Structure 1
């Protein structure tokens, strides 16, 4: 597995345990094919398969609807493929959209030999910072690693093996070329299915203050600002599922990562307790 290098102010840090599971991109399971070749029209007819500029505001305000909902449970997956082998990192937990904090348990794939089971990584997501426990690679088992997401080249959109759910919604503020694909049923709920492109640089300008710095960093780090997405919104305009396809460069090649976030059980309590300073590992992280 390849350790992805992220430049920090004053140095470079390798986050290999999570990042190293991702080499090249694939398509997330359960989501229809690639977002290439979709129509790009300028008018709205409001029917499935046509550009939905008249409904684009529903997509662009998805983050506001989540904040109004308060909190939700979440499941995530991040998928890549290398040499014909598909690798998926899965997470599950909850997110408090009012406090902009979340907690996930992220399950890494087995080691390359397929023998060693890796302990799940606990991740705490907060504005500007990501905390990880059971990080491995030289980090004591009882310690946390803290990463300043505003210094990561991807703004933590892929670093932790899961996209911050609120950041995923903030990206949609820059939605363009939005196509309405019709109504579907998702986990028993009727949802409206949209497809389009988000622009990372534009999203950074339009995002709420808590997300601007991280998205601005991502706008500089990815190979392309355009991020194809598929979004599913319920009757209240709440984001129930979103798939983003990120593209960045690594070792001179182009890497694509498909990140899927599902949200459900809105209003469920979510408790995020940040670690004490003494519990944060300050030593060197092995690549």
Structure 2
């Protein structure tokens, strides 16, 4: 979305709806000056919110950590649906971002919608030089302090990739800059455990549940770079990406079979999970 399209969209700020271009936030708010806040990015299709209750629960945990308050779950959902209608997305797909920023003793809550980004059907990935701190106070929080992820992704794109994979400070595989990471080896789905410092992704959780329903072995554990190089298949997950096969890492090809585990999960995800709400 270009600047003109973005500015023409309406946004919701603390119960009031107005043009994005004139939405006002205090220049002294800690959410702006210090990045004290949290956010969620949700995928919406024909007014169906992908796992909204899961997003709200994670946002609530993050809010408690950074010290902001949220609208009640029903009020927030209604505000999102009303904004979707105002911006004309009720019969299409869109991305919704809910951000909560600290402003002294109060909270600024902003809801914004945008067109779904156009992506390639697969991902080329590189290793970021930046590491996730698994001991950080923000582990598990989708924090507004997102600069490291932004820089990692920008540098990956400069190298011709569309996602940066990151290790934690212990040298374990952790996550993508904007996604969770899964490997497949000998029919077993593997993903870094939450102790690695990775975000407890909503799509990640859905994939783990799907593996159980499809009787696909799935294990959350410590993973290393050698296992990424040696895997049979690999994929990324996020609410916006859904299940996104990785076809290369650092220029080395990863083959995802059209009849493999990733394809099976993709089909099940689209049929069951995405249309569940």
TM-score of the alignment, normalized to the shorter chain, above 0.5: no
Which structure's relative contact order is higher, taking Cα pairs within 8 Å and 6+ residues apart? 1
* Higher share in helix: 2
User: Greater share of strand residues, 1 or 2?
Assistant: 1
- TM-score where L is the length of structure 1: 0.26
